[in-house]
């Protein structure tokens, strides 16, 4: 039985992971759950899944959780990143689902990789901010790295692999990375200036958190996934083509040198890639309804509009510069937070990223200290850009 640790258990990926685990109690156990400060949600998860450990971000949240589960669940409650890292590296854990959103998930995810765990990677920033460091750690430790993002999981399913889940790429001509286009597909740059946070978070196909939903609306999400794919599959950015596919049925494609194109299709439900990653090299029931191709009716594809959504263009440029994607990701987190707080416009997000890339001294993120320093520097410059735009009346 796999003993599973879920980083970010109260988020959408965490909820889907726990749903799959619950369907297969003979194969998986939710051994340890972590969360930031969602105490009430974590209490319910502890009562339902009875994990051995639960870790909250700080002592005050942990104490509230202790009171919530006291005498009701056999769960030991701990606090802080150090506790999360220690548990992720312990022999009691077989599998780690890395589903913390943002840069905050990097240290623990890197620790799990260093411990040689079966690592289900849903945290983009581990690769975006520290790709070389992360992949080197995986290789040296012998960790089993399985991508959970629907697009990268689709690529993985369309590729041959070795016994350590490493993709075999010598016959691949190009990766086709699909994008839904988000809620504003087809709209002009001008029309996007007045969109609200709620409009940006109303994704047509996927049920996601607010930060990821905004990333989808700006196509930043696709820029982060582009960087992920470069590291996961050892590709240059020009060997990966982003294709807008509004139905979100084809999750990505692999084009081989003989002209064949293999696609992975399915319902837009994250339980499919999660179940595949948990059970690889086997397959298990994910609880997802079958795909009815007749009901789908049609599959459309188009090129992304880089004028209306320049964040994707910035990603292609940033990937080519050492440390560029670390800065890109950090600046985007600051910009999205400001947009959700209604301090800047939707169309200011790419301006914040651009300004931060221009003002931050870029460094090769060779170790965790350099990555953290670069991230902090980028956040400071991004905050200054946000302040400037806010004071200039852009909102």
Strands across the sheet containing 240-244 = 240-244, 172-179, 250-256, 261-265
Work out the average pLDDT over 290-311. Answer: 96
Q: Are 103 and 325 in contact (CB under 8 A)?
A: no
Give the span between the Cα atoms of 321 and 363, in whole angstroms.
9
Q: Please report, for the chain, the start and end positions of each structural domain, with discontinuous segments joined by +.
A: 2-148, 321-389
Give the span between the Cα atoms of 219 and 34, in whole angstroms.
28
Q: 321-389: same fold as 2-148?
A: no
pLDDT value of residue 203: 77
Q: Are 96 and 88 in contact (CB under 8 A)?
A: yes
Over residues 50-81, the pLDDT tens digits come to 999 999 999 999 999 999 999 999 999 999 99
Average pLDDT, the chain: 94
Tallying the residues shown for the chain, one arrives at 395
pLDDT value of residue 64: 97
pLDDT band at 281 (very low <50, low <70, confident <90, very high): very high
Whether the pLDDT of residue 103 is over 80: the answer is no
pLDDT band at 393 (very low <50, low <70, confident <90, very high): low
- Within 280-393, residue ranges assigned H as helices are 293-296, 310-318, 324-340, 349-359, 368-391
Give the span between the Cα atoms of 268 and 246, in whole angstroms.
11
Q: Are 41 and 35 in contact (CB under 8 A)?
A: yes
pLDDT value of residue 127: 87
Token reading at 98: 């890395």
pLDDT value of residue 104: 79
Give the span between the Cα atoms of 322 and 364, in whole angstroms.
5
103 closest CA partner among 307, 364, 371, 391: 371
Whether the pLDDT of residue 206 is over 80: the answer is no
Work out the average pLDDT over 123-143. Answer: 90
* Strand 261-265 with 76-79, pairing: unpaired
Task: State the helix-helix crossing angle for 150-157 and 220-232, rounded to 10 degrees.
Answer: 30
Token reading at 173: 């001509």
Give the span between the Cα atoms of 335 and 183, in whole angstroms.
19
Work out the average pLDDT over 250-278. Answer: 97
What are the DSSP calls for 147-208, one per residue? Answer: E-SHHHHHHHHTS-B-TTS-B--TTEEEEEEEE---TTTT--TGGGTT--HHHHT--SS---
Question: Which one-letter DSSP state was computed for residue 262?
Answer: E
Centre a 10 Å sphere on the Cβ of residue 205 and count the other Cβ atoms it contains.
17
pLDDT value of residue 129: 83
Work out the average pLDDT over 221-225. Answer: 95
CATH code of domain 2-148? 3.40.50.720
* Strand 53-56 with 76-79, pairing: parallel
Work out the average pLDDT over 97-104. Answer: 86
Whether the pLDDT of residue 26 is over 70: the answer is yes
Whether the pLDDT of residue 395 is over 50: the answer is no
In the chain, the percentage of residues whose pLDDT exceeds 90 is: 89
What are the DSSP calls for 29-90, one per residue? Answer: EEEEEE-SS-HHHHHHHHHHH--SEEEESSHHHHHHHHHHHTTTS--EEEESHHHHHHHHTS
Work out the average pLDDT over 106-130. Answer: 91
CA distances from 9 to 62, 119, 159, 287 (A): 14, 15, 29, 19
**Range with the lowest mean pLDDT among 189-193, 207-211, 344-348?**
207-211
Fold of the 321-389 domain: Rna Polymerase Sigma Factor; Chain: A (1.10.1740)
Work out the average pLDDT over 172-182. Answer: 96
**Range with the lowest mean pLDDT among 116-130, 149-163, 241-255, 284-298?**
116-130
């Amino acid at each position: 039985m796999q003993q599973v640790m879920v980083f970010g258990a109260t988020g959408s990926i965490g909820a889907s992971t726990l749903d799959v685990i619950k369907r297969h109690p003979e194969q998986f156990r939710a051994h340890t759950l972590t969360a930031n400060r969602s105490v009430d949600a974590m209490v319910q998860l502890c009562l339902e899944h009875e994990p051995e450990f639960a870790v909250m971000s700080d002592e005050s949240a942990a104490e509230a959780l202790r009171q919530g589960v006291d005498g009701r669940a056999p769960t030991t409650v701990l606090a802080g990143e150090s506790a999360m890292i220690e548990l992720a590296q312990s022999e009691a854990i077989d599998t780690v689902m890395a589903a913390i959103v943002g840069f905050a998930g990097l240290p623990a995810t890197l620790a799990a990789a260093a411990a040689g765990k079966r690592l289900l990677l849903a945290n983009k920033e581990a690769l975006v901010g520290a790709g070389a460091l992360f992949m080197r750690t995986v290789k040296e430790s012998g960790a089993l790295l399985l991508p959970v993002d629907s697009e990268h999981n689709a690529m993985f399913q369309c590729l041959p692999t070795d016994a350590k889940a490493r993709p075999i790429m010598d016959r691949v001509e190009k990766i086709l990375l699909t994008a839904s286009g988000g809620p504003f597909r087809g709209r002009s740059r001008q029309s996007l200036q007045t969109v609200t946070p709620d409009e940006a978070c109303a994704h047509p196909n996927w049920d996601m958190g607010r930060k990821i939903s905004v990333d989808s609306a700006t196509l930043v999400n696709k820029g982060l996934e582009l960087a992920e794919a470069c590291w996961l599959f050892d590709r240059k950015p020009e060997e990966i083509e982003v294709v807008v596919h509004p139905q979100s049925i084809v999750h990505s494609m692999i084009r081989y040198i003989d002209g064949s194109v293999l696609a992975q299709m399915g319902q837009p439900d994250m339980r499919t890639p999660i179940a595949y990653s948990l059970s690889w090299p086997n397959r298990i029931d994910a609880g997802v309804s079958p795909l009815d191709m007749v009901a789908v009716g049609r599959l459309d594809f188009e090129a992304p509009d880089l004028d209306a959504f320049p964040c994707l263009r910035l990603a292609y440029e940033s990937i080519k510069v050492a440390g560029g994607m670390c800065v890109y990701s950090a600046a985007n987190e600051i910009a999205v937070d400001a947009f959700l707080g209604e301090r800047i416009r939707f169309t200011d997000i790419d301006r914040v990223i651009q300004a931060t890339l221009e003002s931050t001294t870029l460094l090769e993120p060779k170790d965790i200290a350099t990555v953290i320093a670069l991230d902090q520097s980028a956040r400071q410059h991004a905050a200054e850009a946000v302040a400037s735009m806010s004071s200039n009346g852009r909102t």
